[in-house]
């Protein structure tokens, strides 16, 4: 699986869309659709016509370009059954535990409430890639727009059960906002020192901080280290 990161809404929301390509079959898909121009340009450069748009949740900065991309590429829009009523142009709905195929790639659907009630994660277990939308960011998590701290805790527990060598791909570049707090919460943690080094190197080059391994994230993200809903509440 080839994964390309596309920065969208730069400076306002700093969203990431991801282009994924199954190199065996040539079938491709886009994870989230914050804005059309950058995604279309990159698809044209790559010479691909994405068959699917995979939404993590309904928020406009993840679905705004659904219809435009669908009109340009004829892509099918795939989103959570829980959000059928509010994902623009949805063609195919998926639920927790489903497996959705992109060519020969298999995405496991994980329902992860907290940021919104219908949020899903796209997990490619064989390829060790997890698309976390607005649930998990580098060193922080998404705001509780619709869910409770208990729901967020449960969603983070699901992420924590996934293997350490899985790389995760978040919906926004928020590292710079989260790193100061994470450093204070991780004094003496050598993994955090390594994380800061990687993040600074990548940001200095104008690159996304992601992907980071879940092992490293579990060791450093204060929210992933929380054990109770009170811990989560306090962190917010």
Structure tokens at 194: 């390594």
Give the C-alpha separation, 78 to 93, whole Å.
6
Provide, rounded to whole angstroms, the least separation between the CB of residue 183 and Zn ion.
Answer: 25
Footprint (CB under 5 A) of Zn ion, residues 32-91: 59
# binding residues, Zn ion (CB under 5 A): 2
Which residue, 103 or 170, has its beta carbon nearer to Zn ion?
A: 170
CA 185 to chain centre: 24
Which residue, 134 or 217, has its beta carbon nearer to Zn ion?
A: 134
Which residue, 94 or 192, has its beta carbon nearer to Zn ion?
A: 94
Under rule CB under 5 A, residue 111 binds Zn ion: no
- From the list 69-77, 102-110, 129-137, 215-223, the region that binds Zn ion by CB under 5 A is 129-137
Provide, rounded to whole angstroms, the least separation between the CB of residue 200 and Zn ion.
Answer: 26
Which residue, 32 or 51, has its beta carbon nearer to Zn ion?
A: 32
CA 8 to chain centre: 14
Provide, rounded to whole angstroms, the least separation between the CB of residue 193 and Zn ion.
Answer: 31
Under rule CB under 5 A, residue 134 binds Zn ion: yes
Provide, rounded to whole angstroms, the least separation between the CB of residue 213 and Zn ion.
Answer: 24
Which residue, 58 or 128, has its beta carbon nearer to Zn ion?
A: 58
Which residue, 59 or 128, has its beta carbon nearer to Zn ion?
A: 59
Provide, rounded to whole angstroms, the least separation between the CB of residue 138 and Zn ion.
Answer: 16
Footprint (CB under 5 A) of Zn ion, residues 183-202: none
Interface ranges with Zn ion (CB under 5 A): 59, 134
């Amino acid at each position: 699986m080839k994964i390309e990161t596309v920065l969208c809404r730069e400076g306002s929301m700093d969203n990431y869309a991801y282009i994924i390509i199954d190199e065996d079959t040539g079938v491709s898909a886009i994870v989230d659709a914050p804005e059309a121009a950058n995604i279309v340009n990159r698809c044209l450069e790559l010479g691909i016509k994405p068959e699917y748009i995979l939404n993590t949740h309904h928020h406009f900065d993840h679905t705004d370009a659904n219809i435009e991309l669908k009109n340009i590429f004829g892509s099918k829009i795939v989103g959570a059954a829980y959000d059928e009523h509010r994902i623009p142009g949805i063609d195919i709905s998926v639920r927790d535990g489903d497996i959705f195929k992109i060519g020969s790639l298999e995405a496991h659907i994980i329902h992860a409430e907290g940021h919104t009630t219908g949020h899903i994660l796209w997990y490619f277990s064989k390829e060790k890639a997890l698309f976390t939308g607005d649930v998990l960011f580098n060193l922080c998590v998404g705001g509780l727009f619709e869910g409770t701290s208990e729901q967020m805790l449960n969603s983070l527990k699901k992420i924590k059960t996934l293997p350490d060598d899985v790389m995760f791909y978040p919906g926004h570049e928020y590292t710079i906002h989260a790193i100061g707090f994470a450093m204070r919460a991780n004094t003496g943690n050598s993994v955090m020192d390594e994380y800061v080094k990687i993040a600074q190197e990548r940001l200095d080059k104008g690159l996304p901080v992601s992907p980071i391994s879940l092992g490293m994230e579990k060791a450093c993200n204060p929210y992933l280290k929380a054990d109770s809903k009170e811990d989560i509440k306090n962190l917010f």
